[in-house]
Structure 1
Amino acid sequence: MSEIVVRTEDGVVEIRLNRPDKKNAITQAMYAAMTEAVTAAQADATARVVLFSAEGDSFSAGNDIADFVAISSASGGEMGLDAPVFQFLKAMAELDKPAVAAVRGRAVGIGLTLLLHCDLVVVAQDALLSAPFVNLALTPEAASSLLLPHAIGHQRAFELFALGEPIDGVTAAAWGLANRAVGADQVEAVARDLAGKLARRAPGSIRASKRLMRDGERLWAIMQAEGAAFGAQMKSPEAMEAFMAFSQKRAPKF
């Protein structure tokens, strides 16, 4: 069974995470599949909106730690810009069609930072969003070091990054991370309704508006700078202790 399911209806390309048994933790293979879907949507004139959704009770638990560590270790701690994760981030930076997200349950790490690249976000009121990079002795990614403070302010963004504690969907909407906070059973219906409305708007106008609001080249440059900092931290004693503690289910000793 595919861990990324892509389907298109009425101009809406839905990219659905389909690894519910692992809380939709994302592997490099899943990033590659999502990159292909986003790139195809960008090139397809009949595709007007990209919708991110997920099977199961969580949007995403973030990167699959075991997969991430294995690939990073195999490459000597370096993950080049040709890695699937970076290709996905680049595709999102370059996407000028509207993106919508439907979020239930946990949205951790990339599960949260992906939302910063979406134009409309619907969250469950009881969803839990977190960016616990510092908990793993790592640094922000996906241009979130720029986008998150811009969206919610420096102090709130720093709290999310540095403490790694989750906020619920109601708080996410109040802070400006989401457009709607609704009951968990309504999330996908509301998100699909919004995506449908976008798909019926003038596509040229929508894309021109998004290009004016976002600087894709700058976002990609920041992603690369973040990647360098992330890679340096991956090789640090702090990160080694954090990942060891994670695998041993204990608190790290920094």
Structure 2
Amino acid sequence: MRRDRIRRTERATFLPLASVMGKTGPMQFRFDLETIELEPDGEVLRIWLNRPQSRNAHNQKMVQEVGDLFIALNSQPDFRVAVLGGRGKSFCAGADRKEQVAPAANDLQARYIGQLGRRAARAIEDCEVVTIGRIHGHAIGGGCCFATSCDFRVTTSDTLFYVPEVELGVPLPWGATPRLIHEIGAARARQMLMTSERVDGTTAAEWGLVHEVVLGEAELDNAVDRWVQRLLSLPAMSVQMSKYQMRGYSQMSRMGDLSEFDGDASERASRTSDAQARFGTFG
């Protein structure tokens, strides 16, 4: 089976996935990826968050690229499964506090930036391709949002799941609150969000936050591969239709979904003196 890898470069060239897979035609799409590495393997696409020097802490560029990529995957029917993981020691250690971001030129630009995370998480959740989260090390803040947006999640027992936003003086953005409530129930979600409780992989499995937990990273790839092979062994159409059903029924609750305001609330709260002080000392 052919295996190609798209490696990150300082300024990557345009890379059409269809061409990488040996295909041509209208299904091609191109990316100039700086923070993500793609590893196509037949009907499987492995997607790696690729900022290992910062434990894959997400900067604005990564969040935008994640959203763009998963939206574009909807036009790639040759892929049946996408695995989202992180290079290095962690899946994603939350926001990159060292990132120097230029102030938004105006309120509309600030709102657009504030909506990038919700867009990325929703793109993963709504992707036509079945998604598996390969989670190790840390899944903090936005990293936890990326993970819970995947259809299936496999992790190690010592992985840290942690939502620190309340400790930082801001509400949880990215539309993650209703997603957590759906996945683990209101009581557990309240415990994670309102008290910023740290949860290890074993507890995450007990709560229903992940589907399988293994002892260490050495076993993680084998566990993920079992999920991949199980999904590939099933009829493609019935798997996809089942995902459509799950998505459709879960979206019935979106009639009252206010998640588009999460970014606004977080952006406003981040201006408070409490948030400014806590962001400066957190870590």
Above 0.5 in TM-score?
yes
Picking from 210, 225, 235, the partner of 1:178 is 210
* Letter paired with 2:104: A
Residue 126 of structure 1: how far off its partner (Å): 1.0
- Give the Cα separation in 2 of the matches to 1:76 and 1:65: 22
Picking from 20, 31, 37, the partner of 1:5 is 37
Residue 62 of structure 1: how far off its partner (Å): 0.9
Give the structure with the larger helix fraction.
Answer: 1
Aligned to 2:245: 212
- What whole-Å deviation, never above 9, does each CA across 1:176-220 have from its counterpart, x for those lacking one? 001111022111221133123223422222222122212458399
Q: Does 1:36 pair with 2:68?
A: yes
Matched residue SS, 1:24: coil
Q: Does 1:74 pair with 2:104?
A: yes
**Larger CA deviation: 234-243 vs 178-187:** 234-243
Aligned residue pair count: 245
Residue 64 of structure 1: how far off its partner (Å): 1.3
Matched residue SS, 1:70: coil
Picking from 31, 51, 55, the partner of 1:19 is 51
- Give the Cα separation in 2 of the matches to 1:190 and 1:9: 17
Task: Give the 4+ runs in structure 1 shifted more than 6 A.
Answer: none
Aligned to 1:252: none
Unmatched segments (≥5 aa) in structure 1: 250-254
Percent of residue pairs identical: 25
Picking from 130, 133, 138, the partner of 2:170 is 138
Larger-gyration structure (1/2)? 2
Aligned to 1:100: 132
TM-score (ref. length: structure 2)? 0.78
Matched residue SS, 2:183: helix
Greater relative CO (CA pairs within 8 A, separation 6+) = 1
Residue 81 of structure 1: how far off its partner (Å): 6.2
Matched residue SS, 1:156: helix
Q: How does 1:92-241 map to 2 (within 5 A)?
A: 92-184=124-216, 185-214=218-247, 215=250, 218=254, 221-241=257-277
Measured on the aligned residues, the alpha-carbon RMSD in Å equals 2.4
- Give the Cα separation in 2 of the matches to 1:209 and 1:222: 26
Picking from 45, 48, 51, the partner of 2:80 is 48
Residue 169 of structure 1: how far off its partner (Å): 0.5
* Letter paired with 2:159: A
Unmatched segments (≥5 aa) in structure 2: 1-8, 10-33
